[in-house]
């Protein structure tokens, strides 16, 4: 400062006319830093406050909405003669020069409020050139703006410690009150901070320093006749309590930051469609489930909960922790592009049913098949089990997520038609050609978002009406677009909600089975890099992804064992203390009729297509091995199932006939040893061998099939 004062004095006569010659700087044309936005859930409960991209927490406020005590305090502390001088207070400059001569350094500043506003605009460095530029711009600001406009700009931009800027943000942050309600003590406290925002940061260990500066502010106010001695003593004696330092973690941080970026510039508050209680439950379950899966190299997960009727987002978790840089927590798994595995299969089956490429009674082959590709190569789809089930029904193939039948179905409708349908459903990131994806599209050869999957599955529940997913309250409505056939969507729902049909691959009482009607589908991408579980009731759609943001493979974790447990917990929680959801509606024009011993939705004139190769045992597979746990041996059973029979099958175990259930299946209690299982109908028979081995290990967690290798995902 010592070397700056002579230059400022000698250059004043040059700066003043030059500034007016170039023209003033209207403060209204200067872009202000974006203000903070406070977010609440659908009921008004706070979710957190998001600051601007440059980490500034600021809230714009008008002078009339600021406590007069603060305006007096900040003027007394920073520029008492503000309304009586121009851009530069030359009396203060002369006083600083005199102090510099007598004491070796100035004891008081000479910077005016207008100069500080100029500094906040240009961020000029504290050099000779910077001081000259700051003074020059201060003249230009004074030439074009009123004193009140300059003061307003100052109190909205003045640094108030940490990343807090402006009196409104400071009042809300430190005291939980608007600036207009600040009393004298609070006003003097806040007016003390701008003198040295780092050393006087309220959340630092600076209580004594702030109190000393606050005393100085009150003394200056008293000296200027703004208050009397009694007012000053009362203000100093008042106990001031700071609000606790806000946590970095926000509820639904990924969503809040996204909404912040898209909000209108003057927005200060947004009410979302989230339910804070549900949001926090889901966040906690993500962390808990990942903790159990971490040993199998599952680090990340994302969840979206949607209200089917309105499309409102009820919970949104993009990662286990937004601010956890060690695991790439800022990545948003809801919006990330990942391979969906088998999660797209229901849409291929619906399209095939809609176009009569298959019917509900069509028999599909789950046998080794070879397809010729356009480039001269061949494609042989396989199930995850590397085994084949033979002839299977459409219901069985979809419910058990068999890969080979799904490819057969896609071959019948065509990849081009399927890709067009997926685009209509909102999968806008499938941007390659049908030829590029090929038949593998139905097995997850593209990349989709969890957001897109949730919307598509909600579309199934809505009979083909695509919902408008939204997270801001009041944005109800649909895309006003219908896709597919109402009857076919309801048939697909029936298949996805059938726990018996899926039991061959997933077992009974698995994490996919709810105590009320719920449809669900899993998916696992190639190489075990992504697992999905997406399902719905009449009320909600819950979509879950689990995997690793860095793309590393999990240790043989599938959709049911990766994303499935998290889906299960959330879906159960949604109905705790609430009535069970209603049953799914029946498909119009269809009725339940017997199809090879099982009930299936059929039209009045629909013919039953029998398996061409006679009866076959679909569960278990030949050579399967089971562990019989001592703790559960009295109640450990498997369900034997067959297909392709002309008459209800007759079962025998090791040559001894056993009575089957009405649907032809057989619930059989496991016994140690090697067993031959035979199924016969009027025209054919089939036999397999399985091994049951006693085990002293603890049984696996309830809900997972005993079969070590599941068919699908």
- 621 burial (CB, 10 Å; 0-12 / 13-18 / 19+) is middle
| pLDDT score of 193 more than 50 | yes
| pLDDT score of 4 more than 80 | no
**Confidence at residue 134, expressed as pLDDT on a 0 to 100 scale:** 76
| pLDDT score of 478 more than 70 | no
**Confidence at residue 399, expressed as pLDDT on a 0 to 100 scale:** 95
pLDDT level of residue 374 (50, 70, 90 thresholds): low
| Fold entry, domain 4-33+59-237 | Penicillin binding protein transpeptidase fold (1.10.3810)
Rounded Cα gap, residues 215 and 235, in angstroms: 9
Q: Which residues contact 359 (CB under 8 A, 6 or more apart)?
A: 353, 394, 602, 606, 609
Find residue 391's DSSP bridge partners.
365
| pLDDT score of 19 more than 60 | no
Domain ranges of the chain: 4-33+59-237, 284-574, 612-695
Decide if 545 contacts 531 (C-beta within 8 A): yes
**Confidence at residue 85, expressed as pLDDT on a 0 to 100 scale:** 86
Residues 260-311 have pLDDT tens digits of 888 887 788 999 999 999 999 999 999 999 999 888 888 899 999 999 999 9
Lowest-confidence pick of 41-55, 313-327, 331-345, 401-415: 41-55
Decide if 567 contacts 541 (C-beta within 8 A): no
| pLDDT score of 106 more than 60 | no
- Comparing 459 with 697, the larger pLDDT belongs to 459
| pLDDT score of 252 more than 70 | yes
Q: Average pLDDT, stretch 599-607?
A: 89
The CATH class of 284-574 is alpha beta
**Confidence at residue 210, expressed as pLDDT on a 0 to 100 scale:** 93
**Confidence at residue 710, expressed as pLDDT on a 0 to 100 scale:** 36
Beta strands in 183-251, from DSSP E residues, in sequence order: none
**Confidence at residue 627, expressed as pLDDT on a 0 to 100 scale:** 81
Residues 69-78 have pLDDT tens digits of 999 999 998 8
**Confidence at residue 382, expressed as pLDDT on a 0 to 100 scale:** 64
CATH 3.40.50.450 for the 612-695 domain, yes or no? no
| pLDDT score of 244 more than 80 | no
Residues 80-100 have pLDDT tens digits of 888 888 777 777 666 655 555
Beta strands in 188-330, from DSSP E residues, in sequence order: 269-271, 300-307, 313-317
Residues 630-659 have pLDDT tens digits of 765 556 788 787 777 777 889 999 999 988
Lowest-confidence pick of 223-237, 377-391, 414-428, 533-547: 377-391
Q: Which residues contact 539 (CB under 8 A, 6 or more apart)?
A: 307, 308, 309, 574, 581
pLDDT level of residue 370 (50, 70, 90 thresholds): low
| pLDDT score of 388 more than 80 | no
Rounded Cα gap, residues 224 and 235, in angstroms: 17
Q: At what angle do helices 207-223 and 229-237 cross, to 10 degrees?
A: 160
Decide if 522 contacts 531 (C-beta within 8 A): yes
Average pLDDT, the chain: 84
Q: Average pLDDT, stretch 147-167?
A: 88
Residues 349-360 have pLDDT tens digits of 999 999 999 999
| pLDDT score of 463 more than 80 | yes
CA-based nearest residue to 523, from 336, 660, 347, 344:
344
**Confidence at residue 173, expressed as pLDDT on a 0 to 100 scale:** 84
| pLDDT score of 16 more than 60 | no
**Confidence at residue 422, expressed as pLDDT on a 0 to 100 scale:** 97
CA-based nearest residue to 137, from 150, 148, 61:
150
Query: Phi, psi (5° rounding) for residue 421?
Result: -65, -40
**Confidence at residue 647, expressed as pLDDT on a 0 to 100 scale:** 78
- Comparing 588 with 243, the larger pLDDT belongs to 588
Decide if 333 contacts 531 (C-beta within 8 A): no
pLDDT level of residue 109 (50, 70, 90 thresholds): low
Rounded Cα gap, residues 457 and 538, in angstroms: 11
Q: What are the counts of helices (DSSP H) followed by strands (DSSP E) for the chain?
A: 21, 26
Q: Average pLDDT, stretch 239-244?
A: 87
Q: Which residues contact 364 (CB under 8 A, 6 or more apart)?
A: 358, 391, 392, 393, 394, 397, 405, 408, 409
**Confidence at residue 545, expressed as pLDDT on a 0 to 100 scale:** 95
| pLDDT score of 111 more than 60 | yes
Q: Which of 203-212, 353-362, 471-480 has the highest mean pLDDT?
A: 353-362
Q: Average pLDDT, stretch 138-143?
A: 83
Helix residue ranges, H only, 104-206: 113-122, 128-144, 147-157, 167-170, 184-192
Q: In what order do the strands lie in the sheet with 269-271?
A: 46-50, 37-40, 269-271
**Confidence at residue 318, expressed as pLDDT on a 0 to 100 scale:** 95
591: left (phi over 0), alpha (psi -120 to 50) or beta: beta
| pLDDT score of 18 more than 70 | no
> pLDDT above 90 covers what percent of the chain?
48
**Confidence at residue 3, expressed as pLDDT on a 0 to 100 scale:** 47
- Comparing 620 with 552, the larger pLDDT belongs to 552
């Amino acid at each position: 400062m010592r070397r700056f004062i002579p230059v400022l004095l000698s250059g004043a006569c040059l700066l003043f006319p030059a500034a007016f010659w170039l023209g003033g700087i209207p403060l209204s044309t200067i872009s202000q830093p974006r203000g903070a936005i406070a977010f609440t859930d659908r009921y008004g409960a706070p979710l957190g406050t998001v600051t601007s991209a440059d980490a500034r927490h600021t809230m714009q406020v008008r002078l009339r909405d600021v406590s007069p005590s603060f305006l007096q305090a900040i003027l007394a502390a920073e520029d008492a003669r503000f309304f009586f001088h121009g851009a530069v207070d030359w009396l203060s400059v002369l006083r600083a020069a005199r102090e510099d001569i007598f004491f070796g350094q100035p004891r008081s500043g000479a910077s005016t409020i207008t100069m500080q506003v100029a500094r906040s605009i240009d961020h000029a460095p504290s050099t000779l050139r910077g001081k000259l530029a700051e003074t020059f711009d201060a003249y230009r600001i004074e030439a074009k703006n009123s004193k009140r406009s300059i003061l307003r700009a100052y109190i909205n931009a003045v640094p108030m410690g940490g990343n807090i800027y402006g009196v409104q943000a400071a009042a809300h942050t430190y005291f939980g009150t608007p600036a207009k309600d600040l009393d004298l003590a609070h006003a003097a406290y806040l007016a003390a901070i701008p003198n040295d925002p780092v050393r006087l940061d309220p959340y630092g260990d600076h209580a004594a320093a702030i109190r000393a500066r606050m005393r100085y502010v009150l003394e200056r106010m008293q000296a200027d006749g703004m208050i009397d001695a009694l007012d000053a003593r009362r203000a100093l004696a008042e106990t001031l309590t700071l609000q606790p330092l806000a946590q970095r973690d926000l509820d639904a941080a990924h969503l809040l930051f996204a909404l912040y970026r898209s909000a209108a510039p003057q927005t200060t508050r947004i009410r979302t469609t989230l339910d804070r209680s549900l949001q926090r439950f889901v966040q906690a379950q993500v962390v808990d489930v990942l903790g159990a899966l971490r040993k199998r190299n599952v680090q990340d997960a994302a969840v979206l909960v949607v209200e089917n009727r309105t499309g409102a987002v009820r919970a949104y978790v993009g990662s286990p922790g937004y601010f956890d840089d060690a695991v790439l927590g800022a990545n948003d798994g809801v919006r990330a592009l990942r391979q969906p595995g088998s999660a797209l299969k229901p849409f291929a089956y619906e399209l095939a049913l809609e176009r009569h490429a298959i019917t509900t009674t069509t028999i599909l082959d789950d046998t080794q098949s070879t397809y010729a590709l356009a480039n001269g190569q061949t494609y042989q789809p396989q199930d995850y089990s590397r085994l084949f089930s033979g002839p299977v029904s459409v219901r069985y193939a979809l419910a058990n997520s068999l890969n080979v039948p799904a490819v057969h179905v896609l071959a019948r409708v065509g990849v081009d038609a399927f890709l067009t349908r997926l685009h209509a459903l909102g999968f806008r990131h499938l941007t390659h050609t049908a030829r590029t994806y090929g038949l593998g599209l139905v097995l997850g050869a593209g990349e989709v978002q969890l957001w897109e999957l949730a919307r598509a599955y909600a579309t199934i529940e809505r009979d083909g009406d695509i919902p408008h997913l939204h997270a801001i309250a009041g944005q109800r409505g649909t895309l006003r677009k219908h896709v597919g056939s109402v009857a076919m969507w309801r048939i697909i729902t029936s298949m996805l909600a059938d726990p018996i049909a899926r039991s061959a691959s997933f077992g009974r009482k698995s994490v996919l089975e709810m105590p009320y009607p719920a449809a669900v589908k899993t998916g696992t991408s190639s190489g075990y890099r992504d697992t999905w579980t997406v399902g719905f009731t009449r009320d909600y759609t819950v979509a879950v992804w689990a995997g690793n943001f860095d793309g590393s493979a999990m240790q043989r974790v599938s959709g049911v064992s990766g994303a499935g447990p998290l889906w299960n917990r959330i879906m159960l929680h949604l109905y705790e203390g609430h009535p069970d959801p209603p049953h799914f509606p029946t498909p119009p024009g269809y009725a339940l009729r017997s199809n090879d011993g099982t009930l299936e939705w059929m039209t009045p004139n629909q013919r039953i297509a029998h398996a061409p190769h006679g009866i076959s045992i679909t569960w278990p597979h030949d050579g399967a091995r089971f562990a019989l746990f001592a703790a559960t041996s009295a109640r450990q059973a498997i369900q034997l199932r067959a297909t392709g029979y002309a008459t209800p099958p007759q079962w025998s175990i090791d040559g001894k006939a056993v009575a089957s259930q009405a649907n032809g299946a057989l619930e059989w209690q496991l016994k140690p040893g090697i067993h031959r299982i035979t199924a016969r109908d009027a025209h054919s028979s089939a036999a397999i061998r399985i091994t049951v081995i006693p085990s002293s290990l603890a049984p696996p967690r309830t809900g997972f099939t005993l079969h070590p290798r599941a068919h699908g995902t």
